[in-house]
Structure 1
Amino acid sequence: MLLSAGRAVLKLSAPYRHGFAGSPDDLRDQAVLARFKGATVISTTTRWRRWAAVGAWLCLIAAGGALAYLIGERTGIRALQQGTLHRLDIYSTSLRSELSRYEYLPQVVALSPDVLDLLRAPTHRTLQLEANVYLETVNAHAQASAVYVMDTTGLTLAASNWNQPGSSFVDMNFSYRPYFKDAVRGMPGRFYGIGTVSREPGYYFSHGIVDGNRQLGVATVKVNLDKLDAAWSRSTDKVLAIDGNGVVFLASEAAWKFRALRPLSSETLQQLAQTRQYTEAGALRPIDMREHRPLSGGNAMVVQLNADGPRRSATQEPFGPDYLLDSRPVEGTDWKLIILSDMKPVHAIARTSAVGTAFALVFLTLLVLYIQQRRRIVHQRLAAREALQGAYDELEQMVQVRTEALSHANEHLQTEITERQRAEDILKSTLDDLVQTGKMAVLGQMSAGITHELNQPLAALRTLSANAVVFLERGHTEQVDLNLRTICDLTDRMGQITSQLKKFARRSTVQLQSVALADTVADALFLLNQRIRQERIALSQEIEPGLRALCEGNRLEQVLVNLLVNAFDATASAGVDPRCVRVVARSTPDGVVLEVHDNGTGIAPEVMPRLFEPFFTTKEQGLGLGLGLAISAGIVRDFGGLLRAARSDLGGAVFSVTLRKAEERTDHD
């Protein structure tokens, strides 16, 4: 039997393939086929059992996650509801406290002699004025919206807003209001509605005014409750108060005011029209709210709402997230206080519980699989131990053979180690030689640089001393004194130049300072003044006044002398007449640029890449060491600047030194 890619292929004898049986080969083939069929059936059954187990376990994980979600949601709702009930107590207490402040006021007004006198003589103007002033004073202290008195027909005789044209209640009839009807019948009147005169909503307290057994009129106080809206709007909850008809008259959301939680019946709408309770509020559009699911116990439920209005089509999805709705009646009224809390935190807790449970079940599954795998490994190890015991003798022979091979390899490795150590010793010696060679090269470069830098001051000293002798013979003592002072300065400067030797040997921190470029150019030209006169070099200067750079004046002077000497040599080798050299110092957006132009031979393109290499020179042998530009470039780099070469507009070369302006600051300052 051959197995290939999970499929069994049988090679049967010819008689069996033709339907004959009886020979030993035929019997053998039948047994093989029977075993193959049994194995196939067992393999298929095992596979289906495994898939069934996986499916059952996935269902268990899903069920566990769903159960954990429900438990987490129930726990979150319980915690949210506890906080909601506490806040409902606070809102209800504040609302009731606001109302209780004015309940006594109509009774106080009913006892006023000014009011009683006016009701006994309603047409007396003086009594009406006195009553108006009294009500205005009472309202100023009570800070209500309005206080007014009506006769038994509902006509207002006096009001606190009597002197407010257009909004005065005087001579207005409110007999259609329920609070008037209740007070006339001898009961305290309580009513919330929108004023037909002021167009402002308010809560009305009324009390009958009697004289003995005779009903004289009704005293009414109107209170504005809008400040409760402002306090509720700062809460994270959605708070609203509804009347007995389900109309919202106070809400933390301004768009919900004077809208109904449910569609109003025609009888209710007719009653509201008669009392003119919400005449100015419009059509009392309902808030599209649906009960998502009730909660056991209390008045709480989970709702979904769409404050923008009813759905326009069956396919529209206007409802937003879930809210926990809890309500509480307001004592002494037919009102109900409702609070809507966002269920997003509850859902987050539930999702966390579900995900945590699912992960726990997955971990448990992996743990069970791990244990089973460990048990399988233990069985495999026991079987492997028996196999290893059987192969031990063969392994002993192999170890002996390998030991001999390792001995030869060890001898070869020892030889390689000895050769490697010898190579490392040679490498170390070579590195020491290279380091010594590098030191000698640096010392040679520094010595050549010092020699190159001292030539020009020595020449100037010789010139000044010779001139001093001539001036002394002529009796020009002032000029002799000037030359001697200049010689002293040059001597000090030569001392400063030689002091740079230690800086070449060990780099020190560069001390940058503000340097006037005009003074530096003047000092450099002074050192070269004799050569300029002798060789009749046409030197021009374009120095921007007041230009200062951040560098060291002495070392910048060395760079400038090197560049000027190279320019003089270039004009001499070119054989031009006149030999022109121009020094330019100007300010640019990048900093300060100092340029030296000449009309010499210029710089060949193939020379440009190696121009600043040490010991590279285009001069004839013996005329230069090739260190001037390399040293100058190093000095400029120490300043944080850049030395570049290009073709000049004079026809030769131009060397540009770019430095920072003196106003800038660096870490070296």
Structure 2
Amino acid sequence: MNRESRRPVLRALRVLVPLALAVALLWAVHAWRLAAGVDDIARHAGQRLALLSASLDAELLRFESLPAVLARHPVLPALLADPDDAGLRAQANALLEDVNARTGAAMLYLIGPDGDTLAASNWRRADSFVGENYAFRPYFRAALAGGAGKFFAVGATTRVPGFFIAHPVRNAAAVAGVLAVKVELTQLERTWAESGESVMVVDRHGVVALSSNPAWKFGALSALSAASRAELVQTRQYDTEALAPLPLVWHEAGRATIGDREFVVGSRALDWLDWRMLMLLDTTPAHAAAVWSATGAGLLLCVVAAVALYWAQRARRLRERLGAQAALERTVAERTADLAASNRRLQQEVVERVAAEHKLRGAQRALIEANRLAALGQMAAGVAHEINQPLAAMRSFAGNALTFLERGRLEPLKDNLGQIIGLVERMARLTAQLKVFASRRRGAGGQAPAAQSMQVVAGWFRERLAAAGVELTFDDAGLSLPLPPEALEQVLSNLVGNALDALAGRGAGRIELRTCARDGLLCLEVADDGPGIAPELRARILQPFYSTKPLGHGLGLGLSIVADLVESAGGRLEITERPGGGALVRACWPAASESEEAQET
């Protein structure tokens, strides 16, 4: 085969091979997505079965111990000993009727050793169990033998299916009769039906005892064997029900079909009478998801193919253009001239860049010097700002001390002098921390009880609060915050002072101090019912030297210092709106773990 004859074959292979690979890839995507969807459905079925089986267990466990407890009542053994005593029979009927009404069971009845029912909770009704013989029921035989009888069946008298639990009634250590309770599960089946799920409970013969679909009830998963039918006829478990096989076709890997619909079948074993709970979930969503995934993969392959064709065409055109340019000597000469010009421009740019770098270094040195001077000015202004409040408080305490001295009141005088001493010590600590302030570590380390610091700061502002008519309240959760006492007092002092300034001239107001622990955080909150802070100003007021107060009423360093103290201790400061109006400033720190607290102690 020559080259000309091979060209059509090669051309066809270039189309068919990528197409075959694309089809195989799409099939693999479809199969993978379908398997993943079916697995998800199976997991969901398992989870739902766990919940539904738990609800069934809970419903039956409510009544499991009822016959055992009620069998100890003296009236029941007495009636079994003398079945013809009308008085005892009336007492037993009344007892069973009352207990049945209180517990919510379907039926309670007492059976003699011969299988005849002596008393029942439904003794007043036309379908009363009294006089009926249930010797053929397995639960009666098991209880009469001294054990606990459990059985599910269609009621021989009422024709209503239910779960029967029986317990022996003893007289002088011997079994004298049987007390049984019937539990009807129709309400549970209605709940399953309302959920829209296909649920069934099958016994060991494969007969559907309970189901969310009434059409499936008392059907069989498959044709019953002769032995199973004989046993069911003997016990009259389903009485006259046909027990016809359901239109289910079972497949491998826990799947079944009904008509043209496929289902994933989840199964869970139950502890009651070798029951199994089955749930059928439609696989249509999994098939739809697989189709969509394959469609998406196909679209993606189309996009990739289009991009590949585009770049192949572009590369072809580029090769043609470069070939044409390579054939022209003039183009080469022009390119050479351009390169020479570019080289000269590059040299000029290098010279300009070197000069710019020299200017930049000079500007950097000037900027460093300016920052150093600004830092010194900010530090000095901050210290002056922080000392101003203790000085004002000392002046107030000193004036009070003179008044108390003139009046001969020594106890208040002693308290004022103590406050002055505390303020002096605080000023000493503040000035001693000047270096720590410069190194930005002044808020790190230490613990302080919030309640004690609140009381100290309240003493500082007592006169200002009274003069302004502002009420200061506390709501302390007994927390210790990760700040030294002087730092915590400085934070509270600045925040309370700002709140007082916001309430100035209003005639009355309220400032709230509180601590709380939530979401793994220790929080300190200062709130007021003043005019609040506009949202556009909340980020700017934390900057140094920014103030909303009139000129001469502050340097704008208070909140900046508070933010620095909180952040230095690993916390975060936020400003927001107080519910009901006003401003709320919140400082939060991560709560220390138990291991960290143990190391600190």
State the TM-score, normalized to the length of structure 1.
Answer: 0.47
Q: Give the number of the structure whose alpha-carbon radius of gyration is greater.
A: 1
C-alpha distance in 2, partners of 1:293/1:337? 18
Letter in 1 for 2:315: R
Alpha-carbon deviation of 1:232?
0.4
Give the corresponding residue for 1:90: 51
Letter in 1 for 2:121: S
Give the corresponding residue for 1:303: 256
Alignment of 1:238-277 (within 5 A): 238-277=198-237
CA offsets 1:23-80 (integer angstroms, 9 cap, x no match): xxxxxxxxxxxxxxx8xx4233121122223222222111111111122122222333
Match for residue 295 of structure 2 among 327, 338, 355: 355
Letter in 2 for 1:302: R
Alpha-carbon deviation of 1:180?
0.7
Match for residue 197 of structure 1 among 141, 157, 178: 157
Match for residue 133 of structure 1 among 90, 94, 101: 94
Letter in 2 for 1:127: L
Letter in 2 for 1:90: L
Give the corresponding residue for 2:369: none
CA contact (8 A) 1:240 1:250 kept: yes
CA contact (8 A) 2:151 2:273 kept: no
The question of 1:372 aligning with 2:332 is answered no
Give the corresponding residue for 1:177: 137
CA contact (8 A) 1:73 1:347 kept: yes
Q: SS where residue 340 of structure 1 aligns? A: strand
Distance 1:293 1:387, change over 3 A: farther
Give the corresponding residue for 1:13: none
CA offsets 1:363-417 (integer angstroms, 9 cap, x no match): 3233333332222222333455578999xxxxxxxxxxxxxxxxxxxxxxxxxxx
State the TM-score, normalized to the length of structure 2.
Answer: 0.53
C-alpha distance in 2, partners of 1:84/1:265? 29
Match for residue 78 of structure 1 among 11, 26, 39: 39
Distance 1:227 1:380, change over 3 A: same
Alpha-carbon deviation of 1:263?
1.2
C-alpha distance in 2, partners of 1:273/1:160? 28
Give the corresponding residue for 1:168: 128
Match for residue 152 of structure 1 among 108, 113, 137: 113
C-alpha distance in 1, partners of 2:28/2:196? 30
CA contact (8 A) 1:237 1:342 kept: no
C-alpha distance in 1, partners of 2:139/2:174? 19
Alpha-carbon deviation of 1:325?
1.0
Q: SS where residue 325 of structure 1 aligns? A: strand
The question of 1:108 aligning with 2:69 is answered yes
Alpha-carbon deviation of 1:278?
0.6
> Following TM superposition, where does structure 1 have runs of at least 4 consecutive aligned residues deviating by more than 3 angstroms?
382-390
Q: Structure 1: 5+ residue runs without aligned partners?
A: 1-37, 295-300, 306-318, 391-669
The question of 1:284 aligning with 2:243 is answered yes
C-alpha distance in 2, partners of 1:236/1:42? 68
C-alpha distance in 2, partners of 1:58/1:292? 34
Give the corresponding residue for 1:210: 170
Alpha-carbon deviation of 1:104?
1.0
C-alpha distance in 2, partners of 1:70/1:154? 60
Letter in 1 for 2:105: A
Alpha-carbon deviation of 1:225?
0.2
State the identity %. 35
CA contact (8 A) 2:76 2:169 kept: no
Give the corresponding residue for 1:328: 268
CA contact (8 A) 1:323 1:341 kept: yes
Alpha-carbon deviation of 1:96?
0.3
CA offsets 1:588-614 (integer angstroms, 9 cap, x no match): xxxxxxxxxxxxxxxxxxxxxxxxxxx
Alpha-carbon deviation of 1:346?
1.4
Alignment of 1:422-437 (within 5 A): none
CA contact (8 A) 2:161 2:184 kept: yes
C-alpha distance in 2, partners of 1:366/1:43? 28
Alpha-carbon deviation of 1:177?
0.7
CA RMSD of aligned residues (A): 2.1
How many residue pairs get aligned? The number is 331
C-alpha distance in 2, partners of 1:388/1:262? 88
Alignment of 1:640-651 (within 5 A): none
Give the corresponding residue for 1:58: 19
C-alpha distance in 2, partners of 1:223/1:97? 12
CA contact (8 A) 2:111 2:178 kept: yes
Q: SS where residue 268 of structure 2 aligns? A: strand
Alignment of 1:577-656 (within 5 A): none
Give the corresponding residue for 1:552: none
CA contact (8 A) 2:122 2:129 kept: yes
Letter in 2 for 1:304: T
CA offsets 1:197-242 (integer angstroms, 9 cap, x no match): 1010000000111113322011000010000111001223211111
Letter in 2 for 1:279: D
C-alpha distance in 2, partners of 1:343/1:253? 18
C-alpha distance in 2, partners of 1:283/1:235? 28
CA offsets 1:602-635 (integer angstroms, 9 cap, x no match): xxxxxxxxxxxxxxxxxxxxxxxxxxxxxxxxxx
CA offsets 1:235-271 (integer angstroms, 9 cap, x no match): 2321111111111121111111110111110110111
The question of 1:123 aligning with 2:84 is answered yes
C-alpha distance in 1, partners of 2:138/2:166? 10
The question of 1:48 aligning with 2:9 is answered yes
